């Protein structure tokens, strides 16, 4: 799949919401977004990647009873073991060492502030990082981002969503 071709994420979210019997207003309130913003999630496939934080997507998946692998099926593949935040940090560090690259060069390559996240992995549970940040970082180091999102969704406490 080409990077610029977005799979049918919106339809999956809409179908799952309808199956749970939740309204758009309920979902918007649960995610802390406007009704219009939630409607966009179910109307435009790239919205879930660019407009929701990793924490919000984790909460969305839990609320709808969907595994991240189900939402992002085209970009998922079997990964051995869990890709927790800690493991992901170690993989980033190993990548930097293997590539003989400093952190600022890596940040320039991926387009995201990685230093803050490496110092405080819980930063991934804030509104600071959209899902596309996780995707971009993981793709740069050869890690399946959906496997990482799946592990992150399990790590994050419900009350932080």
In DSSP notation, 99-120 reads HT--HHHHHHHHTS--HHHHH-
Ranges of the chain whose pLDDT falls below 70: 1-6, 76-82, 125-127, 155-161
- pLDDT of 2: 44
Q: Is the pTM of this model over 0.75?
A: yes
- Nearest CA-CA partner of 87 in 148, 46, 20: 148
């Amino acid at each position: 799949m080409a990077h610029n071709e977005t799979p049918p994420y919106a339809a999956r979210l809409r179908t799952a919401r309808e199956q749970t019997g939740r309204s758009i207003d309920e979902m918007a309130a649960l995610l802390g977004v406007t009704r219009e913003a939630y409607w966009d999630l179910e109307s435009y496939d790239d919205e879930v990647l660019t407009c929701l934080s990793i924490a919000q997507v984790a909460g969305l998946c839990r609320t709808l009873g969907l595994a991240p692998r189900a939402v992002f099926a085209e970009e998922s593949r079997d990964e051995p073991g869990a890709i927790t935040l800690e493991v992901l940090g170690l993989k980033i560090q190993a990548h930097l060492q293997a590539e003989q690259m400093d952190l600022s060069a890596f940040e320039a390559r991926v387009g995201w502030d990685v230093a803050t996240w490496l110092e405080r992995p819980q930063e991934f549970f804030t509104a600071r990082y959209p899902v596309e940040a996780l995707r971009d970082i993981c793709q740069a180091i050869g890690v399946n981002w959906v496997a990482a999102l799946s592990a992150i969704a399990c790590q994050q406490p419900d009350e932080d969503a």
